[in-house]
Structure 1
């Protein structure tokens, strides 16, 4: 049975940011860190999803990445966009993989799915389908976007954009993209650029523009001090109000409008209330306006469940050790993101402590700094 000082459950942006910080800032040897994740390599889900929607540049600025050095990306490349110097997807990914290799973490990867965790004499014991790992410290970093949502009105005829089986490049003919956020916009733009596709972007509320997915003020002390004084219920309300889900950057909206003017894309504000598949294979959406749309494919860019990430094995853990949770079911944490002795969390699980930025790259950096400070004490 393998024993490490730190076991990280989840090898996405959140988990790997923590791993790099543990190496660089806390000086934890690479062979004392392990990362367990069901995928073959780090950042696999992030890579698959950003490639799928052909996202050319990240939404975040150049200072947000896996490294504790804010200028890491700027030192390694020059592929940036706009006043906030948003990095290209390829440069961000390549730099991330270089950072993990330089940190010596290539041998820390365990490809497996966690099914159970329990306390042990020396810390924690984590069980995968094929692995058992003993660790002094356990860090939970499950992705917050593990359960895509398709509205009932579109079921069972729509496919979610992040369904692994869905390939936008294979879409031809009349195609409806449902959603008003950045994933829907990128997908609609990609389809509009294809000669064989006739896309319609269907959104239920006016298209919202926001440079970032949460106000940058939530990265500073002023707003976070106010957040820290709120009770759990008020924090949850704040998270719901302050996250700019279903929004897109200004230049992406301009691109949509250019496609619309060129006749390559139809943009329609309305809402599907039901869907039917006809004998000829066409899908018909009945809309709240009384109109209808027909298409060969319907792609739902409609977000993810708010259910507790990793709930299949996390809920039994909560019950077994009476781990403190707010009414919403999410962890109540110390400022160092410790849930109970030697059990830490990051990402979505830490949002009641980190605030509206918890699920993004900037939030991953803030969480990693707190955890490393605790580890270094």
Structure 2
């Protein structure tokens, strides 16, 4: 059975987060840089997109919603996890006109039925009312054909859908002690240790959404869906990439990342779903002390590699980050 034939499998790790797990996620998955947020806004407005209503899908605890909301008159964050939504509601932020951001439990594939959309757009009853739909490192969990069909219903003519993700775990080659060996260690960690615990969505994200279904990829042998999705023109599609394969120019920094000590790095990496699946699989062995935690092990080994070279001795930090891809789909006017 090909990937196109396989039924969509819903993401389970994040959707089952309780509030304590969601709080950790909010703390260690930082927001996005001002420069990237400005790029997203520019990609939307440069084609005539307006700043009325923002809909952030798969918002988690609201990290990206809070980055974007001040640029819009109204904002709604949606996530399938009640725990994530509860935490998001507890971190207030206001929109451009001073109203609080709303958060609601819901699915990307059922956006048009969100009660808050009808409340925010009483004249249109939730139809063609959204200026910008966003999803930050979340679209790889969506069932894309129904997602695009829903987006076509609720997006205003001239509106945008912006999907972006951070993929891979990289270190800055310009200042990392014993770089080649540390890079090889992290490659093995990602491609060998985590690979058995990675889902199709994880792989899509790591590959910067190459293979993520766009509207024109979803319409084969489905004339009804093709008619719905013709509002999205492939000629208006934009793809941007940053720090691909971990490349950082001398004197620059990761678009997504920064300087991190080993303890913070471990906590950040601990929010990744393959890491959590590994820990669940080895839960009993971890409790009995039969195996070393995978992140304790990789941090210990990095420190050992640092100690092999003079500049790495007593060093407790690295400049780390991810590659970033931004996909912009626009609705015809």
What is the TM-score with the length of structure 2 in the denominator?
Answer: 0.29
Which protein shows a greater Rg?
A: 1
Give the number of the structure whose residues are more often strand, by fraction: 1
Give the number of the structure whose residues are more often helix, by fraction: 2
What is the TM-score with the length of structure 1 in the denominator?
Answer: 0.26
